[in-house]
């Protein structure tokens, strides 16, 4: 995470200098392994979810919007009203942006509300999202924005929560919200929110094929239940763990695995052609990212010669472009750190 703070005078009654604008940069994720167990009574599934943060970033800016009426210090009561004074978004394609809600249902707004409610120190804010992470693409863009908004509001309001409290609040907001606070490569258990870093000294190069379509995470899990009614308990792949520890890109490519892929392909069959196109062009590994529909191609890393990686990357990008199947093709490195205040 990268947080960017500008300093200024807070309103007209005080001479205290405080941050009035904070920007936080936050990465997307790809799932190197997504093992999905049977459905739980609470509607979720137990997972072994190996998250890997990649250099595709959203930036979330929060700005003071002025004091709430009736409370001279601008603070909110723990149960009091909405803190969202406005929400705007830009970046990415028009079709992706049109799927971003600009009201209190936005996950970034939900994060601000939760932090304000928990601490009683929330103030009205305007939130701006600079979106580069595909929307409803299986790269956790909404969750990333929620994590970034938590960090930004924590800084803006001076709530000073520690990492443990932020991780707890993140887990309340969604299964994928805690990981972007950490970044790197980590395994998530439970519904994905119980995180443990994974030994991964290597750096990898990725190509992502963005789809013109979105897939609903809930719909993909429901399709998984239909296709795999007897799913076993999820387990961490030893092949994946060993490949990461050895920084071996070829072994990592072979070990990539996603239990939700069959369900995503069932809902959007054209994804199979996308995966085959990148694999035939020489990708070391190919899989649907999380619940999809973004497809991820590993094109090199570790101590491989840079020109070999570049050649593979160019071949994969050219084949995907020629296929006409993708809305956009983006390149990224992983892993990268989590949220940063700019
Ligand atoms: C599948 C994954 C893989 O990282 O992400 P995406 O690929 O969508 O980004 C995650 O598990 C998604 O996490 P997130 O997007 O935060 O999901 P949530 O808001 O918590 O849940 C949305 C819905 O997905 C289903 N869900 C989610 C997580 C989980 N462990 N079991 C589930 O069954 C539930 O139907 C839930 O109502
Ligand atoms: N800040 C946000 N950015 C993107 N989508 C959001 C956001 N807040 C809420 N959403 C909603 O969440 C849905 C899932 O978005 P996203 O997190 O990008 O996908 P995924 O879960 O596949 O990674 C979107 O279709 C959108 O309706």
Q: Which of 46, 154, 176, 259 is catalytic?
A: 176
Average pLDDT over every residue of 2-25:
59
Whether the complex's predicted ipTM surpasses the cut of 0.90: yes
Predicted pLDDT of residue 18: 60
Q: How far apart are CA 18 and CA 158, in angstroms?
A: 9
Annotated binding site for ATP: 134-144
Annotation marks residue 29 as catalytic: yes
pTM strictly above 0.90: yes
- 188-245 pLDDT, tens digit each: 999 999 999 999 999 999 999 999 888 999 999 999 999 999 999 999 999 999 999 9
Give nearest CA residue, ligand 2 atom 1.
Answer: 142
339 lines ligand 1 (CB under 6 A): no
In this structure, CATH architecture of domain 2-196: 2-Layer Sandwich (3.30)
Give nearest CA residue, ligand 2 atom 9.
Answer: 106
Predicted pLDDT of residue 10: 40
Asked if 244 contacts 199 with a C-beta cutoff of 8 angstroms, the reply is yes
175 lines ligand 2 (CB under 6 A): no
Question: Which ligand is the nearest neighbour of the Cα of 213?
Answer: 2
Give the 3-state DSSP-derived string for the chain, with helices as H, strands as E and coil as C.
CEEEEEEEECCCCCCCEEEEEEEEEEEEEEEEEEEEEEECCCCCEEEEEEEEEEEEEEEEEEEECCCCCCCCCCCCCCCCCCCEEEEEEECCCHHHHCCCCCCCCCHHHHHHHHHHHHHCCCCCEEEEEECCCCCCCCCCHHHHHHHHHHHHHHHHCCCCCCHHHHHHHHHHHCCCCCHHHHECEEEEECCCCEEEECCCCCCEEEEEEECCCCCCHHHHHHHHHHHCCCCCCCCCCHHHHHHHHHCCHHHHHHHCEECCHHHHHHHCCHHHHHHHHHHHCCCCEEEECCCCCCEEEEEEECCCCHHHHHHHHHHHHHHHHHHCCCCEEEEEEECCECCEEC
289 lines ligand 2 (CB under 6 A): no
Whether the pLDDT of residue 310 is over 50: the answer is yes
Predicted pLDDT of residue 14: 47
Q: How far apart are CA 81 and CA 67, in angstroms?
A: 13
Q: How far apart are CA 240 and CA 253, in angstroms?
A: 9
The model's confidence at residue 328, banded by pLDDT at 50, 70 and 90, is: very high
Asked if 101 contacts 110 with a C-beta cutoff of 8 angstroms, the reply is no
Predicted pLDDT of residue 214: 85
Domains 2-196 and 199-334 share a fold: no
Annotation marks residue 276 as catalytic: no
- 108-167 pLDDT, tens digit each: 999 999 999 999 999 999 999 999 999 989 999 999 999 999 999 999 999 999 999 999
Question: Which ligand is the nearest neighbour of the Cα of 146?
Answer: 2
- Tally Cβ neighbours within 10 Å of residue 323: 17
CATH 3.30.70.890 is held by the domain 199-334: yes
31 lines ligand 1 (CB under 6 A): yes
The domain locations on the chain are: 2-196, 199-334
The model's confidence at residue 81, banded by pLDDT at 50, 70 and 90, is: low
Give nearest CA residue, ligand 1 atom 25.
Answer: 218
Predicted pLDDT of residue 13: 42
44 lines ligand 1 (CB under 6 A): yes
């Amino acid at each position: 995470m990268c947080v960017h703070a500008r300093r200024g005078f807070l309103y007209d009654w005080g001479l205290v200098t405080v941050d009035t604008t904070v920007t936080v940069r936050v990465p997307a994720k790809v799932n190197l392994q997504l093992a999905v167990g049977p459905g739980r009574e609470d509607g979720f599934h137990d997972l072994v979810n190996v998250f890997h943060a990649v250099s595709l970033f959203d930036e979330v800016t929060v700005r003071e919007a002025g004091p709430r009426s009736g409370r001279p210090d601008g603070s909110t009561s723990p149960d009091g009203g909405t803190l969202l004074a406005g929400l705007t978004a830009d970046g990415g394609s028009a079709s992706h942006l049109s799927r971003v809600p600009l009201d209190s249902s936005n996950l970034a707004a939900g994060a601000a509300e939760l932090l304000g409610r928990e601490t009683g120190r929330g103030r009205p804010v305007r939130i701006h999202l600079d979106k580069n992470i595909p929307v409803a693409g299986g790269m956790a863009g909404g969750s990333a924005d929620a994590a970034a908004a938590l960090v930004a509001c924590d800084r803006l309001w001076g709530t000073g929560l520690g990492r443990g409290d932020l991780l707890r609040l993140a887990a309340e907001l969604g299964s994928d919200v805690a990981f972007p606070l950490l970044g790197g490569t980590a395994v998530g258990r439970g519904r994905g929110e119980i995180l443990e870093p994974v030994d991964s000294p290597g750096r990898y190069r990725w190509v992502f094929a963005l789809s013109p379509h979105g897939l609903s995470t809930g719909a993909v899990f429901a399709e998984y239940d239909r296709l795999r009614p007897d799913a076993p308990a999820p387990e961490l792949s030893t092949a994946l763990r060993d490949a990461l520890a050895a920084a071996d890109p070829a072994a990592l490519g072979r070990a990539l695995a996603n239990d939700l892929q069959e369900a995503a392909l069932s809902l959007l069959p054209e994804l199979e052609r996308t995966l085959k196109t990148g694999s035939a062009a020489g990708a070391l590994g190919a899989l649907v990212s999380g619940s999809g529909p973004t497809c991820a191609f590993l094109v090199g890393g570790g101590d491989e010669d840079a020109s070999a990686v570049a050649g593979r990357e160019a071949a994969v990008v050219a084949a995907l472009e020629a296929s006409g199947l993708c809305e956009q093709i983006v390149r990224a490195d992983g892993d990268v750190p989590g949220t940063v205040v700019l």
